[in-house]
Amino acid sequence: MFRSFLVMSDAYLALEDGRVVEARGRVPGRTRGELVFTTAYTGYEESLTDPSYEEQVLTFSYPLIGNYGVRAERFESDRVHPRAAVAREFTEEVVEWLADEGVPAVDHLDTRDLVTSIREEGAMKVGIAVGEDVTPEDAKEELAQCKGMSEHVDIGAQVTTTELTTFEGDGDTTVALVDCGAKGSIVDSLVDRGATVHVLPYDADAEDVTALEPDVLFISNGPGDPENYTATRELVEEFAGEVPLAGICLGQQIVASALGGTTEKMAFGHRGVNQPVRDLQSGKVVMTTQNHGYTVADPGDQLDVTQVNVNDDTAEGLASEELSVITRQYHPEAHPGPHDSLGFFDDVLAMAGTEGNEHKPRAVASD
């Protein structure tokens, strides 16, 4: 049963746990999504343009968002991806940006309480209504229409490129990057190391990849449940052992699922810039940026766990020397940082010299 506390307000958040939270409306609109939070205190431009936040409502735990402005060169994609943004306080510059993007925004609420609720109860559905005449019932109506993340079966289509795009490097390595919602910094990190990167749609098939004769097949980050990326998983199955494979975030989950592992949804996920990760071989701990709500539960028999999260022991790195596979659950390319793990891209490109490019897709039986 909903518990509403009615005072004058122009923004309401109807939570799955039954509460209706009042706030100050900054950008009007009505929307719904999965309510999540990030603990990052910088990088709000990068977070808001990260495709992995598609179909989610992003809550910032840091109290003031926008204190160093908005610059397009820091964006990770060409638009804002969360369906709404929530903070203790947004600056006017951020509000203007979100208004231009048509993304509802609210502030002047207790984000500490909101974050605590998500940590204790898990990421939850939320309906949001912002505007001069909105009521709690408007927010509840949005909540009633909200889907769970795993129900967004075609979410990849919302964030992928629509056509093959090439970014030229000055070296000899060719990377086929399957775009499940790739951050621009991933492409930049590869090109900066000399690789030519061909970005393909998330539903590319084996013939599309083979035509590029790639030295590495790279599966990107992205939103939603990895089990919904059927075409991408089939690519991994097709090329495993033939072309070196790499993946970041969702990419790690898809690679694991394709090679016999299993994935699962986390309670509230990892989202922030200070997640500690331990390398099992060296014992070294690095600080990482993360944004994911699913994880690899069991890597299966073909992959080894090489890195784990210090806080909860979830798999942060997978590898197979036999299949030439290396993946990370976190974001080594993260901006504005930390940059402790940028060497991952050197390791990925080092695999390019260990495999030939003679792969041909297996014959597929006709109906």
Q: Is 272 annotated as a binding residue?
A: no
Instruction: Write down the catalytic residue from 45, 316, 333, 355.
Output: 333
Sheet of strand 315-320, all strands in order from the earlier edge strand to the far edge: 165-167, 196-201, 174-179, 216-219, 245-248, 325-328, 315-320, 304-309, 262-279, 285-298
> How far is 9 from 276, CA to CA, in rounded Å?
40
How would you classify residue 102: left for phi > 0, otherwise alpha for psi between -120 and 50, otherwise beta? left
Instruction: Write down the catalytic residue from 198, 292, 331, 335.
Output: 331
End-to-end CA distance of the chain: 51
Structure tokens at 136: 């709690």
DSSP class per residue in 122-161:
-SEEEEEEESTT--HHHHHHHHHTPPPGGG-TTHHHHHS-
Q: Is 293 annotated as a binding residue?
A: yes
Partners of 286 in the β-ladder: 277
Residue 249 falls in the annotated catalytic set? yes
The DSSP 8-state label assigned to residue 340 in this structure reads T
Q: Is 156 annotated as a binding residue?
A: no
> How far is 280 from 209, CA to CA, in rounded Å?
33
Q: Is 259 annotated as a binding residue?
A: no
> How far is 116 from 296, CA to CA, in rounded Å?
25
Structure tokens at 240: 């495993």
Instruction: Write down the catalytic residue from 46, 54, 249, 335.
Output: 249
Residue 180 falls in the annotated catalytic set? no
CB-neighbour burial class of residue 202 (10 A; exposed 0-12, middle 13-18, buried 19+): buried
> How far is 218 from 248, CA to CA, in rounded Å?
8
CB atoms within 10 A of CB 80: 23
Q: Is 291 annotated as a binding residue?
A: yes
CB 136 within 8 Å of CB 6: yes
CB 267 within 8 Å of CB 249: no
Q: Is 343 annotated as a binding residue?
A: no
Residue 331 falls in the annotated catalytic set? yes
Pairing state between β 196-201 and 216-219: unpaired
Longest distance between any two alpha carbons in the chain, whole Å = 68
Element (H, E) at 272: strand 262-279
Pairing state between β 11-15 and 165-167: unpaired
CB 58 within 8 Å of CB 87: no
HSE (side-chain half, CA atoms, 13 Å) at 280 = 13
Catalytic residue numbers?
A: 249, 331, 333
Binding residues for L-glutamine: 52, 222, 224, 250, 253, 291, 293-294
Residues forming the annotated binding site?
52, 222, 224, 250, 253, 291, 293-294
